[in-house]
Amino acid sequence: MEALRYPIGQFAWVGDISREQRARWIEELEEAPALLRSAVSGLDNSQLDTPYRPQGWTVRQVVHHVADSHMNSLIRFKLALTEEQPTIKPYDEARWAELADSRPADIELSLALLEQLHARWGLLLHSLQESDWERTFVHPASGIIRLDVNLGTYAWHGKHHTAHITSLRQRMGW
């Protein structure tokens, strides 16, 4: 069951994050929308409404979740860059996944949003100075988060959810 939940493993990083590592993560973030679009290409509504694992979200909900989560992350970056260690507002991902813009909505809404969101996010990330990566925000449940670690988390996050879909397609023979 753990392999279904974390098909690429969990994100973990220890130690200093190099400029080269950040560049790879930025590239992965910029590629994420196209990889997600490819992962869902050709799926019909029945397939989109299939959970990627028992008690998991449907493929459709996963796509919308990635958009919701990455929008929140971009805002967290901007807050950390413009305020001194702001405390961010978490959100209830599971409840968001049940709303009308997630459970029944056309995935194209979130796929197109992600393409534009990641284009803007990439512009911001490429503009950061070395010292900007040390800026932080406070997550009430997770504590103090550095922007470079958050970058890695979200580079992983896009790949993580894309792998939910590609591994389901493989298991189902789609």
Q: What is the pLDDT of residues 96-133, one digit of tens each?
A: 999 999 999 999 999 999 999 999 999 999 999 999 99
Rounded alpha-carbon distances, angstroms, from residue 77 to 3, 114, 139: 30, 16, 12
Q: What percent of the chain has pLDDT over 90?
A: 97
Round to whole Å and give the CA distance between 174 and 171: 8
What is the structure's pLDDT at 14? 84
What is the structure's pLDDT at 57? 97
Q: How many CB atoms are closer than 10 A to CB 153?
A: 17
Q: What is the pLDDT of residues 4-63, one digit of tens each?
A: 999 999 999 888 999 999 999 999 999 999 999 999 999 999 999 999 999 999 999 999
Whether 80 shows a pLDDT value over 90: the answer reads: yes
Contact 47, 173 (CB under 8 A): no
Average pLDDT over residues 75-95: 97
Residue 146: phi, psi to the nearest 5?
A: -80, 150
Q: Is the dihedral of CA 133, 137, 143, 144 positive or negative?
A: positive
Contact 1, 90 (CB under 8 A): no
- The widest CA-to-CA distance across the chain, in whole angstroms, is 50
Round to whole Å and give the CA distance between 58 and 48: 6
